[in-house]
Amino acid sequence: MRLALFITCFNDTLFPETGKSVVRVLRRLGHEVEFPYDQVCCGQMHFNSGYREDAVPLVRSFVDAFEGYDAVVVPSGSCTAMVREYHAVVARQAGGTLPAGVARVAPKVYEFSEFLVDVLGVTDVGAYFPHSVAYHPTCHSLRLLRVGDRPTRLLRAVRGLTLVDLPRADECCGFGGTFAVKNVDTSVAMGGDKVSAALESGAQVLCAGDNSCLTHIGGLISRQHAGIRVLHLADILACTEALPDLQPYGPGLDIASGFAAEQTPAPEVTR
Amino acid sequence: MERYEANREARTVILDRLRTALDDRPKPPPVRRAYRRERPAGLDVVGRFAERVADYEATVLRVYDAQDLLSAASDLLREAGVSRLAVPTGSRLAWLTRLGVELVVDSPPLDNDALGEIDAVATGCALAIAETGTIVLDTGPDQGRRALTLLPDYHLCVVRADQVVGTVPEAVARLNPRRPQTWISGPSATSDIELERVEGVHGPRTLHVLLTG
Amino acid sequence: MTTSVRREPTFVGMPPFPEAAHAELANDVQRANLRAATHTIRAKRDAVVAEVPDWELLRRAGEAIKDDVLAGLPGYLERLEVAVRAAGGVVHWARDAAEANTIVVAIARAKGVDEVVKVKSMATEEIELNNALARAGIHAWETDLAQLIVQLGEDLPSHILVPAIHRNRAEIREIFVREMGRFGRPAPERLSDEPGALAAAARRHLREKFLRAKVAVSGGNFAIADTGTVCVVESEGNGRMCLTLPETLITVLGVEKLLPTWSDLEVFLQLLPRSATGERMNPYTSMWTGVTPGDGPQEFHLILLDNGRSDVLADPVGRQALRCIRCSACLNVCPVYERTGGHAYGSVYPGPIGAILTPQLRGIAAHRVDAQTASLPFASSLCGACFDACPVRIDIPEVLVHLRAQLVDGERGPRDRAEEVGMKAVRWAFEKPWRIGFAQHVAGVGGRFARHGVIGRVPLPKRFTGPVSAWFADRDAPAPPAESFRSWYKRTDGGQEE
């Protein structure tokens, strides 16, 4: 199986550790993942903000970058949903050969938990993470991809991890891409309630499959010194007894929790 | 009809606009009526109906013979303090006189004020729906005109077991759209204040159902 | 009784959504009311939907029936007209609000009345009928409890189904005590704020109006093209009063409200109550076909209203909004609506459905729209809860994004130059991988100045920084790392060489 990683522009730029975690988990399971350097962005921000014409070249470059792979794994629910649900819409508008290209590539694109559970057939990835974790199902993974209980099945199989229920879990955190700045007050009101729910859950760590949502929730937590950390699912699944919880970067920037980020990249340890 | 003719121009313009709007000739998907139209096999429709009506805070009494019916009706009316009872014309509800309440037959039709001053009304129904606990009146025999079951504050409805159907589709299939209909599911209610349900606003505040047979 | 005919407030002049929301979010009474109310109704809806095993099949059938209506709308309207006239009704056509209002006023004047009783109706809210009647010296008495609360409180509706959802019992008591006496029977002395007591006060206040009214005005939930039957779904019995007691009934109906056949009701009378109030069936559903001798109004006028609907129908993506049956399920599940309430949307149609319907009714497909209208398609985080709840499967997020493209690509909204420059810059950076690499490098260098890897408060004036200061007003952000993923992958061959 020729396997590619679509890191997403957001993770590439702000959360490289999540990408490293994906590589690490897959390698542990015996799969090498390629990183096509021509990849950039799925075009979601442009598409969702009304700049649909500007999304066309991005969709085209996505097809070019990932054509020929058997599967593309993406550590983001919303970017996966953009590719699978909306690239066809952009392509239809653009015409030419793009619709056919999207039809070939998009069905092979999987969100990280989908890839592990559905393609690899794994729920126990050999991870160890001795903390209590609440899982927030991000909206696009919940309602567009319908990932269902895949992430929680993966989390339940992690040794040492205690999964606790997140109250009102299916409510949006209020990130919503440019919504977070265009409707900043509403976005923050929604995010504040999500932070309250996370606190109510009693978890140490709030986990999700989208670093974008976690940046918003984590940004609120950090400002409020709320004392919870946010972590991408991949970053939890990457942890083992040999390498417990060493993410130097994470969207959970909670200084109070003692996981403050370092300035220099920590030595990358794999295997 | 004159007023209608006066709007002839608006009619033409609207229909033209709508036709132009559909220039792309959308082809809607076929309507698949794969949903349930019949009651689930083995369902005790009468029992389910009684249960669902009771969920609406309406009282349901099940009776099996004429003697039962009399004593049940007598209990309900006494409990509700009813002394005058409106009934539709040509009513087969004359047996209610034996309960000692005064029957006021809607013939000639009572005016609204007179009707509003009567405590209670008793009727039959066209049919009833088990799944939703609904009684349907269609101004047929034993039901009278619509205002009759609206202005009095208490409604006693007699439902025969053979009038109970299972589902909404079964009910729709049996009803005649030419007749004015009132579908009643429990007493008048509102949830307009803090979404807290309150029984009894403008329609009858009390609904009692006698389920016979 | 003599009272002056009071004009009602309108949504005209409301600020764009973000600004309106800013004020509404600070309304603690409304926040608490909405939190409790939306969570209550969600639980009720979930419970009654879960007990219907064929719910998804019903949704699909509802969607298909409505799409069929829209695809053949001119023909169905003509059939409806024939059937209503055959049953003794009069059919009017109104291109816009003014035309519909003129027709209602003319009928009321012809009957010589100075008052009408009204069943809550979104169509008559949309055309601001009450103000048109007021200008003609005719009182329009709202008889739905929540609508009465709004009318007496000189307030605006904030929800499609429960227009006074933003009010709590104490406020409602105050409004009743203060206002009822000015327009009829006063509230009892020492009125309590128990919902039961408040409902009883409304019953007593309105009863004399029901008994005396000669003309009623309603909307309609459904109209059957084949038979001419009109259907009104309600709870309190105020609908039955209006539809039964007066001599003349005027129904204002959006042209999209049709169903082809009588049997189609078997789908919608299951979808609507469970989606709307979370009940298996609403307390009262009234259906009538034209005029019935000796029973109910002996004169029936049906006004078929366009008022922008033909523009909505012209948009192949946006037209699905016309499937809406006004159940409010999308409002009740919406996390934005739950926090801002309905007034922030500046329209009689609030919430997710309002965000896609209002701009379309105001002509976004045809011409430039004002800033308030243009803000509505952005009043959503695109979480998708609305689509899941919609009984006729309106893909609200799809239409929202479609309308955003009309505003930006189609230049129907006010231009945001700074955003355009930003979006173009991002697109430029994304066109060639080396450009994104370069941008990440610059960001990474900048990130070294952040403390503890966190960017906290950014002390710049809002007008200067726009979205940046918006983000940092209440949130921190991670500082960009010194090395992007792609750089790391290249440097270490995907971690092999570390």
ipTM, interface predicted TM-score of the complex: 0.95
- What chains are in contact with C, requiring at least 3 Cβ pairs below 8 Å? A, B
Q: Is residue B82 part of a domain?
A: yes
DSSP conformational letter for C16? P
Who has greater pLDDT, B128 or B28? B128
Q: How many CB atoms lie within 10 A of CB B71?
A: 13
What are the Cα distances from residue B103, in Å, to A102, A245, B79, C176, C294?
Answer: 76, 83, 17, 37, 21
Whether A207 and A231 have beta carbons less than 8 Å apart is answered as yes
Q: In this complex, is the C-beta atom of C384 within 8 Å of any C-beta atom belonging to chain A?
A: yes
Each residue of C306-357: pLDDT tens digit?
Answer: 999 999 999 999 999 999 999 999 999 999 999 999 999 999 999 999 999 9
β-partners of residue C250 are: C217, C301
Q: What secondary structure does DSSP assign to A200-215, as a single string?
A: HHT-SEEEES-HHHHH
CB contact under 8 A, C433 and A15: no
What would the mean pLDDT of B193-202 be, rounded to a whole number? 87
- What chains are in contact with B, requiring at least 3 Cβ pairs below 8 Å? C
Res C267 pLDDT > 70? yes
Please provide residue C322's backbone torsions phi and psi, each rounded to the nearest 5 degrees: -75, -5
Distance between CA C381 and CA A176 in Å, rounded? 4
Query: Residue B157's domain spans which residues?
Result: 42-212
Joined together, the tokens standing for residue B113 give 């004020």
B3, B27, B35: which to substitute to probe chain C, counting the most C Cβ within 10 Å?
A: B35
Q: How many CB atoms lie within 10 A of CB A177?
A: 16
Q: Which residue of B has its CA nearest to C244?
A: B147
Joined together, the tokens standing for residue C239 give 């609908």
What are the Cα distances from residue A23, in Å, to A20, A27, A119, C414, C496?
Answer: 5, 6, 16, 45, 10
Q: In this complex, is the C-beta atom of A185 within 8 Å of any C-beta atom belonging to chain C?
A: yes
Q: Is residue B37 part of a domain?
A: no
Joined together, the tokens standing for residue C456 give 């906290």
Q: Is residue B29 part of a domain?
A: no
Q: How many CB atoms lie within 10 A of CB B12?
A: 11
C429 Cα distance to chain centroid: 40
CB contact under 8 A, C498 and A267: yes
At residue C444, the pLDDT reads 83
SS3 C214: coil
Q: How many CB atoms lie within 10 A of CB C432?
A: 13
A7, A37, A84, A186: which to substitute to probe chain C, counting the most C Cβ within 10 Å?
A: A186
User: For residues C40, C44, C46 and C50, what is the CA-based torsion angle, rounded to 10 degrees?
Assistant: 160
Band the pLDDT of B156: cuts 50, 70, 90: very high
At residue A192, the pLDDT reads 97
Distance between CA B95 and CA B72 in Å, rounded? 13
Q: Are residues A73 and A178 in the same domain?
A: no
What does CATH list as the number for C1-415?
Answer: 3.40.50.10420
Task: Among A119, A150, A183, identify where a domain stops.
Answer: A119
Whether A217 and A250 have beta carbons less than 8 Å apart is answered as no
Q: Which B residues in the span 16-75 are in contact with C, Cβ-Cβ below 8 Å?
A: 17-37, 52, 55-56
Q: How far is C238 from chain B (nearest CA, A)?
A: 6
Residues of B with CB below 8 A from C63's CB?
29
Distance between CA C390 and CA B102 in Å, rounded? 50
Q: Are residues A191 and A224 in the same domain?
A: yes
Closest residue by Cα to residue A139 from A162, A168, A182: A168
Please provide residue C478's backbone torsions phi and psi, each rounded to the nearest 5 degrees: -70, 140
Q: What CATH code is carried by the domain that includes residue A176?
A: 3.40.50
Band the pLDDT of B5: cuts 50, 70, 90: very low
Q: In this complex, is the C-beta atom of B89 within 8 Å of any C-beta atom belonging to chain C?
A: no
At residue C463, the pLDDT reads 59
Q: Is residue B16 part of a domain?
A: no
The fraction of chain C above a pLDDT of 90, given in percent, is: 85
Q: Is residue A83 part of a domain?
A: yes
SS3 A243: coil
Q: Residue C15: is the preceding peptide bond cis (ω within 30°)? A: no
SS3 C116: strand
Q: In this complex, is the C-beta atom of C19 within 8 Å of any C-beta atom belonging to chain A?
A: no
SS3 C259: strand
At residue C465, the pLDDT reads 64
Joined together, the tokens standing for residue A184 give 């900043």
**Cα four-point dihedral sign C270, C276, C279, C285:** negative
The fraction of chain B above a pLDDT of 70, given in percent, is: 96
Closest residue by Cα to residue C236 from C328, C294, C149, C130: C149
CB contact under 8 A, B193 and C85: no
β-partners of residue C292 are: C295
Q: In this complex, is the C-beta atom of B187 within 8 Å of any C-beta atom belonging to chain C?
A: yes
Q: Is residue B117 part of a domain?
A: yes
At residue C450, the pLDDT reads 77
DSSP conformational letter for C292? B
The size of chain C, in residues, is 498
Q: Is residue A46 part of a domain?
A: yes
At residue C208, the pLDDT reads 95
Q: Is residue A27 part of a domain?
A: yes
Distance between CA C291 and CA B53 in Å, rounded? 31
Distance between CA C54 and CA B35 in Å, rounded? 6
Whether C174 and C269 have beta carbons less than 8 Å apart is answered as no
- What chains are in contact with A, requiring at least 3 Cβ pairs below 8 Å? C
Q: Is residue B154 part of a domain?
A: yes
Q: Is residue B1 part of a domain?
A: no
Distance between CA C40 and CA C195 in Å, rounded? 16
Q: Are residues A9 and A114 in the same domain?
A: yes
Q: In this complex, is the C-beta atom of C404 within 8 Å of any C-beta atom belonging to chain A?
A: yes
Residues of C with CB below 8 A from A218's CB?
476, 478
Number of domains, chain B: 1
Whether A259 and A230 have beta carbons less than 8 Å apart is answered as no
Task: Among A97, A119, A141, identify where a domain stops.
Answer: A119
Number of domains, chain A: 2
Q: How many CB pairs under 8 A join A and C?
A: 232
Each residue of C19-75: pLDDT tens digit?
Answer: 999 999 999 999 999 999 999 999 999 999 999 999 999 999 999 999 999 999 999
Q: Which residue of C has its CA nearest to A221?
A: C475
Distance between CA C465 and CA C427 in Å, rounded? 20
Q: How far is C257 from chain B (nearest CA, A)?
A: 14
CA angle A70, A72, A74 (to 5 degrees): 165
Whether A192 and A176 have beta carbons less than 8 Å apart is answered as no
The CA R_g of chain B, rounded to the nearest whole Å, is 21
Joined together, the tokens standing for residue A239 give 């942890």
SS3 C384: coil
At residue C441, the pLDDT reads 85
Joined together, the tokens standing for residue C413 give 């909204």
Q: Which residues of C400-429 are buried (b: 16+ CB within 10 A; e: fewer)?
A: bbbbbbbbbebebbeebeebeebbeebbeb
Distance between CA C418 and CA B116 in Å, rounded? 66
SS3 B120: strand
Each residue of B43-98: pLDDT tens digit?
Answer: 899 999 999 999 998 999 999 998 899 999 999 999 899 999 999 987 777 788 88
Res C11 pLDDT > 50? yes
Query: Residue A79's domain spans which residues?
Result: 3-119
Q: Are residues A152 and A208 in the same domain?
A: yes
Q: What CATH code is carried by the domain that includes residue B153?
A: 3.40.50.10420
Whether C94 and C305 have beta carbons less than 8 Å apart is answered as yes
B14, B117, B123: which to substitute to probe chain C, counting the most C Cβ within 10 Å?
A: B14
Q: Is residue B21 part of a domain?
A: no
Contacts of C212 (CB under 8 A, 6+ apart): none
Q: In this complex, is the C-beta atom of C93 within 8 Å of any C-beta atom belonging to chain B?
A: yes
pLDDT under 70 in chain A at which residues? 245-271
Give the DSSP H or E segment for A156. Answer: helix A150-156
Each residue of C435-483: pLDDT tens digit?
Answer: 888 888 888 887 777 777 788 877 666 556 688 888 988 999 998 999 9
Distance between CA C420 and CA C405 in Å, rounded? 13
**Domain map of chain C by residue range?**
1-415, 418-492
What are the Cα distances from residue A109, in Å, to A69, C145, C475?
Answer: 10, 52, 32
Distance between CA A173 and CA A181 in Å, rounded? 14
Res B15 pLDDT > 50? yes
The CA R_g of chain A, rounded to the nearest whole Å, is 18
